[in-house]
Amino acid sequence: MELITGKKPVEPDFGDNKNIIFWVSTKEDTKEGIMEVLDKRLSGSFRDEMIQVLRIAIRCTSKSPASRPTMKEVVRLLMEADPCKVDSCKPSNKTKERPNGTKIKNQSEL
């Protein structure tokens, strides 16, 4: 939840003796609430994937251990939410430059 929201586990905004799990749970029932908890610095390009990951995090923090997904299921769900399925994440064939100025022609040189 911290990665998706950009919040710390405990912040004054959450209320006295409240944490990020409580705060998200008060917002998860509406689209506006979900949009409010997403880190504004990240939400532009990958909003749908962020919502998917947030939903996984909500399931992982369920009060009932029986309701939580297994780690195998979490891995599968996270792989399904992979934003790099989008073309913009694929490595390009363009020549890149190292910080020292030398050219990199392909990814294997990284």
pLDDT of residue 6: 94
Q: How many domains does the chain have?
A: 1
pLDDT of residue 93: 55
**Angle at Cα 81 formed by Cα 77 and Cα 82, nearest 5°?**
120
pLDDT of residue 94: 53
User: Any idea which of 22-31, 38-47, 83-92 has the lowest mean pLDDT?
Assistant: 83-92
Helices (H), 1-110: 2-5, 20-25, 31-37, 43-60, 71-80
Give the pLDDT mean for 17-30.
96
pTM for this prediction: 0.73
Separation of alpha carbons 8 and 14, rounded Å = 10
Q: Which domain holds residue 101?
A: 2-109
| Whether residue 84 has pLDDT greater than 90 | no
